[in-house]
Structure 1
Amino acid sequence: MKNIKKLAAVAFMTVFVFSISGCNMIEKTPEAIANSTVAVVNGEKITRGDLDKDPNTIQLLSQVKQQYGEDYEKNQEAVSAIKTQKEQILDNMITNKVVEQKAKELKLLPDEKKLKTTADDQIAQIKKQQFGGSAEEFDAALKAQGFTEESFKSMYLSQLRDQQIQQKISDSLTKNVKITDKQIEDYYKANQDKYTEQTNKMHLAHILVKTKAEAEKVKARLDKGEDFSKVAKEVSQDTATKDKGGDLGTISYDDSNYDAQFMAGAKALKKGAVSEPVQSSFGYHIIKCIDKQEYPVKPLSEVKNQIKEQLENDQKSKLVSQKVQEWKKAASITKKEKNIV
């Protein structure tokens, strides 16, 4: 069966990660639940039905059913997890609603007829390319992820609308963003290890302790000539490397699995050198650079456009994020969390 995640990946691309009164019998009907209000944004309601039809909610419930079974509503752990996730989904919906309202104010809403035509064409293309035009395979893949064809098309159209709104808002807000040659040069000089002919690598070992005082004692022992591996086996609190004498193996300079402080301390070491105490979120490290492979830096002329594009995207993203948070802070937003589940 084809993987529906390929379809969802198209639909879920986003720039922003965006009580009914009466007797109890009425409140418990499916229609009443769907019509109950979960949030009000500048006078516009978001209903429980809107929340439950959100693709993230649909996939959440599909995953919960797989984990806890069809009677998941009787499991308190499952209900609690659903509530937490739906609160996050609702917050994204509120953000999208604020952005949509601002787009309407700025006359930046997309044309609905063109939007629907685009969505229909794209879904037809997906069905043809990924499912060979087979309606049966397409429907089966949708069902596996908790969708019907109708709910998927509705979701796809909604997500496409959000994307276009967000792009129009972004283009409007960032049209005057410009990156200077000096900004490019400054970034290049400060981040040269990102632009080497090959990725720089280093073979490291470390000793992890809780406090700076402990780290200073470790460093003093090493300065007196004690073996790094021996000391690591005695005192290091990193259980994954302690028995290996603190050996971390070979690490690329761009490895994102390590704290920035740790990586900065490691990169500064020459081959064979041992660091002073380096603080990270895990504690204090004494790092040894066993070996190092560094390659020539590409000339600025080769990477200038790449850096310019990155700095433009970073600046635009920051500008849009700040503006959206301003709009959201200024908006009148009321949540009715008791209606979420």
Structure 2
Amino acid sequence: MLRKNTKLSVYVVFLIIILAFAICYKLFIEDEVLAVVEGEEIRRSQMDDFLQVLKLYNPNMDEMLKDKKEKYNIEHQYLDFLIFNILINNEVNKLELEITEEAMDAFLEDTRSYFIDDVYEDEETYQQRFEELEITDAQMEELAYSEVAKQLLFEHIQQGITDEDVRSYADENPMLLIQEAGYVKASHILVETEDEAWDAYRRLTEGNEDFETLAKEISKDSSVEENGGYLGEVYADDINWDQAFLEGAFALEPGEISEPVKTFFGWHIIKAGEKKETIYYNFEEVKELVRAVKEQEAFNEYLEELWKNADPEITL
């Protein structure tokens, strides 16, 4: 009898161990590590908490997350967001920038007002949704901390941008100064190599060959048979055009032919037709707009450098 009870006890203990292992394994899988950033883990539970908060911002998030493909895209997008939060928080600590309770309280109050006024239309509906999602004060405070840290880092970078930097940035990006975009009715011949481009240029300028005829003969543009290389009105503020092509086209007077111009697509010979000049703002008129664009670009580049140096390990 004693031997039988002993066997039963061993069996029960074995079952308990197996059950405990299964529970631990399930918890481990459910709270898997999605990324490691500068030694800090981002776990599934953190992603789930973050998505709960996002549901406050977007009432349609529940439906979106039911679609597997949509959920995959959302999780990968916001994993990047969580990684950047860690990088920014760590950088703010390194720079010894102070995150005050007043700043966090102000963010939380602004966020609450935004939800009530712009998302849910009244406080009762907002509060009901807040409780329904079981969002905690700690989750909102974590969001506030990260957003205040982001603003502090942005302001830190702002301070390093001088008036000379803004002026240089405007010179490098003339599109920012455009008040009324001009255009040039342009044609082009596209070839693969610089030698081919110079050969085409000489045939046009020294051999006086017809531009449209030569375009149909040698251009690699797939539409050349239909349009003879004619591109229509090319506008100075059209970001779909390669900047080098725009500069080459607008440097010409009507009837002129450019020397070879290198772009992402290859080498071009450009011919200008009718042209309308671009009207530009005076720099001082748009200085603050240019500054804002420059500051945002500098901030983005700073974050890219943080990411590059940290080299996060992503397992999602």
TM-score by length of 2: 0.69
- Secondary structure class of the residue paired with 2:232: strand
Moved more, 33-42 or 204-213: 33-42
What aligned pairs does 1:237-256 form with structure 2 within 5 A after superposition?
A: 237-256=220-239
Q: Is 1:307 matched with 2:303? A: no
Residue equivalent to 1:201: 183
- Return the letter of the residue paired with 1:108: E
- Alignment CA distance shift 1:134-1:260 (3 Å): farther
Aligned-pair distance for 1:234? 2.8
Q: 1:162 and 2:146 equivalent?
A: yes
* Partner-residue secondary structure (3-state), 2:180: coil
Q: Secondary structure at the match of 2:147?
A: helix
**What secondary structure, in the 3-state scheme, does the structure 1 residue paired with 2:163 have?**
coil
Mapped to 2, the partners of 1:64 and 1:323 lie a distance apart of 32
- Asked whether the equivalents of residues 274 and 289 of structure 1 are also in contact (C-alpha less than 8 Å), the reply is yes
Superposed displacement of residue 162, structure 1: 3.5
User: 1:250-329 residue pairs with structure 2 within 5 A?
Assistant: 250-295=233-278, 297-298=280-281, 300=282, 303-311=283-291, 313-314=293-294, 317-318=297-298, 320-321=299-300, 324=303
- Give, in whole Å, the separation in 2 of the partners of 1:336 and 1:102: 20
Kept in 2, the 8 Å contact 1:236–1:242? The answer is no
Matched residue, 1:228? 211
211-220 or 261-270: which moved more? Answer: 211-220
Q: CA deviation at 1:236?
A: 2.0
Instruction: Give the one of 44, 49, 52 matched to 2:45.
Output: 49
Q: Which residue number corresponds to residue 32 of structure 1? A: 28
Contact kept, 8 Å, 1:204 with 1:248, in 2: the verdict is yes
Per-residue deviation at 1:244?
Answer: 0.9
Which residue is 1:19 aligned to?
none
Pair 1:231–1:327, CA change in 2 (3 A):
closer
Q: Kindly state the Cα deviation for residue 273 of structure 1 after the two structures are TM-superposed.
A: 0.9
Residue matched to 1:116: 108
Higher mean C-alpha deviation, range 222-231 or range 190-199 = 190-199
Contact residue 245 and residue 261 of structure 2 kept, 8 A: yes
Equivalent residue for 2:201, pick from 214, 219, 244: 219
Take 1:192 and 1:328, find their aligned partners in 2: how far apart are those partners? 30
| Residue from 307, 313, 316 that aligns with 1:335 | 313
SS of equivalent to 1:238: coil
Matched residues, number? 287
SS at match of 1:275: coil
Root mean square deviation of aligned Cα: 4.4
User: Cα distance, 1:251 vs. partner?
Assistant: 1.6
Structure 2 gaps of 5+ residues are: 1-18
Residues 276 and 304 of structure 1, relative CA distance in 2, 3 Å threshold: same
Out of 88-97 and 258-267, give the one that drifted further: 88-97
Instruction: Answer whether contact 1:216 1:277 (CA < 8 A) is retained.
Output: yes
Alignment of 1:63-74 (within 5 A): 72=68
* Counterpart AA for 2:264: S
Asked whether the equivalents of residues 181 and 235 of structure 2 are also in contact (C-alpha less than 8 Å), the reply is yes
- Contact 1:119 1:156 (C-alpha < 8 Å) held by counterparts: no
Report the equivalent of 2:159.
175
For 2:161 and 2:263, locate their aligned partners in 1 and report how far apart those are by CA, in whole Å.
Answer: 35
1:165 partner SS: helix
Greater shift in the superposed pair: 194-203 or 206-215: 194-203
- Gap change, CA 1:51 and 1:237, over 3 Å in 2: farther
Percent of aligned positions with the same letter in both sequences?
23
Q: Distance in 2 between matches of 1:103 and 1:38?
A: 23
Q: Mark the CA change 1:323 to 1:222 in structure 2 (over 3 Å): closer, same or farther.
A: closer
Structure 1 distance, partners of 2:204, 2:135, is 62
Larger mean Cα displacement after TM superposition, 248-257 or 196-205:
196-205
Q: How far is the alpha carbon of 1:97 from its aligned partner?
A: 0.6
Partner of 1:93: 82
1:103 aligns with 2:87: no
Q: CA deviation at 1:164?
A: 2.7
**Deviation for aligned residue 1:275:** 1.2
Quote the residue 1:7 is aligned against.
Answer: none
The structural deviation recorded for 1:25 is 4.6
Per-residue deviation at 1:53? 5.2
> What is the CA deviation profile of residues 270-315 of structure 1, one whole-angstrom value per residue up to 9, with x for unaligned ones?
11111122111111111111111015555x4xx3152255246515
Distance in 2 separating the partners of 1:32 and 1:38: 12
Change (3 A) 1:133 1:280: same
